[in-house]
Homo-oligomer: A and B are copies of this chain.
């Protein structure tokens, strides 16, 4: 295969709780699973060479890009991006900026990825604010929760762009035809909501190129009430984190319950395989990382606790993103818009 045909993914090999071991392992698994992808691992050369030495894989699909520094999770993002030019995270972002790579994957600092994505990779022309948009599991499949990023207090025009970018993603990556777009609200009626929602609602309603279905109550999100769940980042973060927290606590409680008597322990052995299968379908980590949409390349943030499997999925997800030309489609949708509003004015 000609190298030019690879989807090239820069992977921050030093970012995350389980770096570099699980990151390198995930990268190797990704190139073993697909011959369409090439991984550029950024990080300390000696460390990464040693890790890679454990595996056999197609050498042509893997490259190390040396980086001597590491950005820690607790560091103030803006400062970290500015000072640590030779960090694995900044190096990986620069590979996308200079066109060497199509995409970026990191389990490192969320803040640094969000800031660096905007500052180094840069926004697509017309995009006002790039949203972080994880897929979350629902009773019927999955939904895109957009925005869960760090830029809170959004304006209505941002939310409209989120709805459009989210629709492109769900239609082309997840394969949902004419995805239903809902806005997170505290009631189903149009007159309900806070100032932001009330102002955004009519804009979404009058948006011709999305399938807006109105308000979605948080209670109905897990049931799969909409495919694209639009909200301001603070609210999105609260939904996502409550999702995770309730799931974790319920699982813990259930395990305690199952271990509470001899009778239930026997039963637990019998139900375990079936339960495991069901609960896997409700695992937030199954979908790989969350894309930061609207940037000139693909920037993917995975959980800080990512293991090899999530890293692999995140890398493989970049192939579909590239093949489906998501960014070209987002650009088109945002541009059309500008032309339309230009004519209106």
A207 at interface by CB-CB < 8 Å = no
The residue that A223 contacts in the complex, of B219, B249, B263, B268, with Cβ under 8 A, is B249
Given contacts A152-B186, A250-B250, A282-B253, contact A219 B245 (CB under 8 A): yes
Given contacts A186-B237, A237-B186, A250-B282, contact A245 B220 (CB under 8 A): yes
A117 to chain B, nearest CB (A): 18
A235 at interface by CB-CB < 8 Å = yes
* Binary B-proximity of A203-247 (CB < 8 A = 1, otherwise 0): 000000000000001111111000000000111011111111111
Most buried by B among A240, A261, A264: A264
A246 touches B242 (CB 8 A): yes
A242 touches B218 (CB 8 A): yes
CA distance A220 to B242 in the complex (A): 8
A270 at interface by CB-CB < 8 Å = yes
Instruction: List residues of chain B with CB within 8 A of the CB of A250.
Output: 222, 246-247, 250, 279, 282
CA distance A46 to B168 in the complex (A): 59
A244 touches B270 (CB 8 A): no
CA distance A177 to B233 in the complex (A): 35
Closest to A217 in B: B241
Specify the main secondary structure of chain A where it touches its partner.
helix
A66 at interface by CB-CB < 8 Å = no
A257 to chain B, nearest CB (A): 3
* Binary B-proximity of A144-163 (CB < 8 A = 1, otherwise 0): 00000010110000000000
A282 touches B222 (CB 8 A): no
Instruction: List residues of chain B with CB within 8 A of the CB of A239.
Output: 218, 238, 242
Instruction: List residues of chain B with CB within 8 A of the CB of A235.
Output: 234-235, 238
CA distance A253 to B247 in the complex (A): 12
Closest to A194 in B: B152
A281 at interface by CB-CB < 8 Å = yes
B267 touches A253 (CB 8 A): no
A1 at interface by CB-CB < 8 Å = no
Instruction: List residues of chain B with CB within 8 A of the CB of A339.
Output: none
CA distance A12 to B241 in the complex (A): 36
A138 at interface by CB-CB < 8 Å = yes
* Binary B-proximity of A246-284 (CB < 8 A = 1, otherwise 0): 111110111011101101101111111111011101100
The residue that A257 contacts in the complex, of B153, B243, B278, with Cβ under 8 A, is B278
CA distance A271 to B271 in the complex (A): 9
CA distance A234 to B152 in the complex (A): 14
B138 touches A249 (CB 8 A): yes
A193 at interface by CB-CB < 8 Å = yes
Shortest beta-carbon contacts, A-B, top 4: A267-B270, A257-B278, A218-B241, A264-B274
5 A-B Cβ contacts within 8 A?
A: A217-B241, A235-B235, A257-B275, A263-B273, A264-B275
Taking beta carbons and an 8 Å cutoff, which residues of A are in contact with B?
138-139, 150, 152-153, 184, 186, 193-195, 197, 217-223, 233-235, 237-250, 252-254, 256-258, 260-261, 263-264, 266-275, 277-279, 281-282
